[in-house]
Amino acid sequence: MTPAALRLDLRSLSWIAVFAVILVAWAAMFMMARMSGIDVWGRPVGMNMMPMTQFGALFGMWAIMMAAMMLPTMVPTLSTYERLMVSADGTRAGWFGVLLGYSVAWAVFAAMIAAVQAALIAAGWVNDLGALTSRLLTAALLIAVGAFQFSRTKAVCHGRCHAPMTFFLGRWRTGFGGGLDMGLRMGGFCTLCCWGFMALGFAAGTMSLLWMGAATLFMVLEKLPAIGHRLIKPAGVILIVAGCGAAAMSIL
C-alpha cells in the first residue's frame, strides 16, 4: 500500500470512528430514556427502571450525552485542522490530540454539571428525571440562558468556536501534544459558549431526547461560519420570552 493510500485509509477510519461514537452515544441515550420510562418528548409513560440520583450514575449519563451532543459540533473544527494537514505541518496525531483535548474539556463539564444535578436532586429542586420541580425555577433558567446570549463572554467564546481556522493560526502547535493543547483550549471556549444549552436540560428534563436533538441542531448551526453569528441574539430573545411566559403561567 502506498503512503498516499495509507493516509487516505487512516483519514477514513478516523472519521468513521468519530461518527460511530456519536451513533453509539445516541443509541445509549435512547436506551436510557426508555429504561427511565419516558418518551422522546420527555413525558413519563412508564416506570423509571434506572433512577439516577447519585454523582457516579449522573456523570456517566452526562459524559455519554456530551459525546452525543457535542461531537457533532466538533466536525467543522476537525475539518479545519485537516486542511492544515495539507497547507501546514498538521499531522493525524495532532488531529487526534485536538479531538481528545476537546473531549476532556467536555468530560470536566460533565463532572461539574453532574455534581450540580446531584445537589439539586438532594435539595428537591430537580426530580429523578432531571427536570426542575418549580415552574418559577424553569422560568429563571430560561431567562438566564437567554440573557447570556447577549453577554460579552458569549460573543468572545463563540468567536473562537465559530472561526476555528483563526483560532488554530493564532495558537498553532504541532504534533499530538500541540493538538491536545489546542483541543483543550477550544473545548474550554466551547464549554463557556454552550453551557447554557446544556443547562436547559433541567427545563425539559435531562432525559428528553427532543431537547437533546433540538439543542444539538442549534449548537451545530451556531458554529457554521455562514449563519452562526446570526442565530445568537434571536435565540436569546426566544428564551427570554419563553421564560417570561413560564413565569406568568406560574403566577396565574
Name the nearest CA neighbour of 199 among 168, 243, 248: 243
Tell me the average pLDDT across 41-65. 84
Name the nearest CA neighbour of 215 among 231, 200, 230: 200
d(CA 33, CA 61): 10
- Is the predicted pLDDT of residue 222 greater than 70, yes or no? yes
* 3-class state of residue 225 by DSSP: coil
Answer whether 40's CB lies under 8 Å from 209's CB: yes
Domain range summary for the chain, segments of one domain joined by +: 8-251
Predicted TM-score (pTM) of the model is: 0.90
- Is the predicted pLDDT of residue 4 greater than 70, yes or no? no
Assign residue 151 a region: left if phi > 0, alpha if psi is -120 to 50, beta otherwise? beta
Give the pLDDT of residue 34: 85
Name the nearest CA neighbour of 113 among 52, 63, 153: 63
Residue 238's φ and ψ, nearest 5 degrees, are -60, -45
In order, the DSSP letters of 47-107 are --SS---SHHHHHHHHHHHHHHHHHHHHHHHHHHHHHHHHHSS--HHHHHHHHHHHHHHHH
In this structure, what C-alpha cell is assigned to residue 84?
492544515
Mean pLDDT of the chain: 89
Residue with cell 444549552: 197
- Is the predicted pLDDT of residue 6 greater than 70, yes or no? no
The pLDDT tens digits of the residues spanning 182-220 come to 999 999 999 999 999 999 999 988 888 889 999 999 999
The pLDDT tens digits of the residues spanning 108-156 come to 999 999 999 999 999 999 988 888 999 999 999 999 999 999 999 999 9
Most distant CA pair in the chain: distance in Å? 72
Which position has the higher pLDDT, 208 or 18? 18
Cβ neighbours of 203 (radius 10 Å): 25
d(CA 156, CA 211): 26
The pLDDT tens digits of the residues spanning 157-176 come to 998 888 888 899 888 988 99
CA dihedral 116, 118, 120, 126 (to 10 degrees): 120
Residue 44's φ and ψ, nearest 5 degrees, are -65, 130
First to last CA, the chain: 72
The pLDDT tens digits of the residues spanning 72-91 come to 999 989 999 988 887 778 88
Answer whether 207's CB lies under 8 Å from 130's CB: yes
